[in-house]
Structure 1
């Protein structure tokens, strides 16, 4: 049954997420009437992750326009500078290809695709795997049993010069069959989550903050995260912890020397609050990209609290409860799903192991905002 207005249905049994039913007058969310779009935006800030089914026909132009509508201040470029995103020295180099006529929309996924899709020549995509990024790998026997990991928990953000996008939209065009299952394992607790192959995992920054002790909340509210310059190049040779939350600090360190990085300026290094305030709910969200952390600084005095190794360990300790089995939503993709998520309210991760010949095709859009997030005390 179609409705004249957009409706929001919270996901049953989840701590975040809602399903959106589009109104009868349009199936293009970028063309919603102001009243319905305001409902959509409020739902995003309240539920953090929105699922809009049956969006197979959504064009890159409409997807880009939708992102802009959520944040009119956003710059008209991808959330990263393309030359840095695709640098051979960056861990992001293989993560996607731009739609030629709308480069703010990236094609991500897995497999080889024939010429013709969105004006592309034949192209190949590679699904991110823990096998290329984690310090400790699953054995071949474990992989054969269908075990997998969170690849990298993150916020979509360049974390140098450009401000983090407010929203990311992710459109599933070709997805693994939903009845194919894999299992995420937690090595520190021996817990696990049964997921659809290729599910996208989300964890709430609000839940992360709420799970802190009173002392930790006070610390978080008064801490600034300093990110490394060109952080994805800085950590290109590093390996992640087994839960994908941060980087394993090794001796000698594998981080790139600052003098070997592309040209950078101190004024463009990102220094962001550890806690961001939700503009709709007023809730505090613990928001940090643990893999790119360089230092933690006291926001009141400017004094360094923790250098690289300790900063990673501190962030890991604070974020780990939020990615526990009871707190994570792993979206099982159906063809045509449009996932809209509040990039300043959640962290997310790729999951799953795909064979090289398996096809998966998504359109992803996130656009750098006109201003940094803030914490309101």
Structure 2
């Protein structure tokens, strides 16, 4: 009988581990303190944890588990809900809140009948490069099962609220793993085969380790200033084909046309964040939302918007090469717990409107800022 939690690295993958629950509970929010500390330490070491067979995990338990990782968490979802659902935001179609536990967001694809978690009939739309990328896939490419990384990101409002430490993502309804699509890299000709709807992860530690010494020193001494209400700021813009950042075409919403914002609430975060357990440095940039880059020592701007995007793209791009990506192929009931301050992740997959996918996602704004201990 397995009386303690068991954690095993995922064979052949650049990051991630599988969790086997102890015999005394199937609910990870109810782990005893010793087992939970093993789980928490494993999260910081492996970055992504997969707990199978959690299809019956309630939104209440998912929320309780998520906030247990960060005692400083505030009491609301990681985004301002009104701004998140604003029709002027690139996130507007990304999900719907569970009514009784609004920190848990339902994301996915297709129309679902009334009754799920107290909802009436509702429809979800899978994010697609068709609406977000500058150069979209052709009908022929889609017919040939091509797909893209949609948007590499950290789960964070990047205005007012601090980035969550942890995100939990539960596969409630998932496409068959036998469905396969291929990501082609425009700049190198490389390719990566993924299951339809796979969630792609890269390690911020790997991203930092791949930098030259000169670029490491730059990253360690640079602050990323994010745009006010960044998802509204970029909603008219289009992304690069790899989903890493936005194409600069002057389509950003003028600052004086954004919803009310305050200088004091802008997010100015280190480019490199320190792992609290391992002490490793993680390159953590949400390049789509960057506004400018600032020298941490002098406070002077070292790169305005277009150049800042180019720099961030250059720094992160090596880490999304196929050998560094863990693309999680979902099984029903998989619970992914990922260190949101240690990985960057992306949706993948082209899905027709009749393809069903339903996930429960939970992240809660932290009460502490990421730090960089140079």
Give the shorter-chain TM-score range.
over 0.9
Could you say what secondary structure the match of 1:305 adopts?
A: strand
Residue 368 of structure 2 is matched in structure 1 by: 371
Residue 176 of structure 1 is matched in structure 2 by: 175
**Structure 2-normalised TM-score?**
1.00
Unaligned runs of 5+ in 1: none
Residues 85-143 of structure 1 deviation map (CA, whole Å, 9 limit, x = unaligned): 00010000000000000000000000000000000000000000000000001111110
For residue 371 of structure 1, report the CA deviation from its aligned partner. Answer: 1.1
Residue 9 of structure 1 is matched in structure 2 by: 8
Residue 307 of structure 2 is matched in structure 1 by: 310
* Equivalent of 1:360 in 353, 357, 360: 357
Return the alpha-carbon distance in structure 1 between the equivalents of residues 130 and 138 of structure 2. Answer: 10
Residue 66 of structure 2 is matched in structure 1 by: 67
Is 2:225 aligned against 1:207? no
Could you say what secondary structure the match of 1:344 adopts?
A: coil
Return the alpha-carbon distance in structure 2 between the equivalents of residues 199 and 369 of structure 1. Answer: 27
For residue 254 of structure 1, report the CA deviation from its aligned partner. Answer: 0.3
Q: How many residues align?
A: 374
* Equivalent of 1:347 in 344, 354, 370: 344
For residue 69 of structure 1, report the CA deviation from its aligned partner. Answer: 0.3
Return the alpha-carbon distance in structure 2 between the equivalents of residues 281 and 142 of structure 1. Answer: 42
Residue 31 of structure 1 is matched in structure 2 by: 30
Return the alpha-carbon distance in structure 1 between the equivalents of residues 344 and 26 of structure 2. Answer: 28
For residue 351 of structure 1, report the CA deviation from its aligned partner. Answer: 0.1
**Structure 1-normalised TM-score?**
0.99
For residue 156 of structure 1, report the CA deviation from its aligned partner. Answer: 0.1
Q: Which runs of 4+ in 1 moved over 4 A?
A: none
Is 2:263 aligned against 1:266? yes
Is 2:17 aligned against 1:18? yes
Could you say what secondary structure the match of 2:42 adopts?
A: helix
Return the alpha-carbon distance in structure 1 between the equivalents of residues 90 and 202 of structure 2. Answer: 22
Unaligned runs of 5+ in 2: none
Could you say what secondary structure the match of 2:68 adopts?
A: helix
Residue 319 of structure 1 is matched in structure 2 by: 316
Could you say what secondary structure the match of 1:322 adopts?
A: helix
When the two chains are superposed, the root-mean-square deviation of aligned CA atoms in Å is: 0.5
Could you say what secondary structure the match of 1:26 adopts?
A: coil
For residue 171 of structure 1, report the CA deviation from its aligned partner. Answer: 0.1
Residue 290 of structure 2 is matched in structure 1 by: 293
Residue 158 of structure 2 is matched in structure 1 by: 159
Residues 274-327 of structure 1 deviation map (CA, whole Å, 9 limit, x = unaligned): 000000000000001000000000001101000000000000000000000000
Return the alpha-carbon distance in structure 1 between the equivalents of residues 87 and 188 of structure 2. Answer: 36
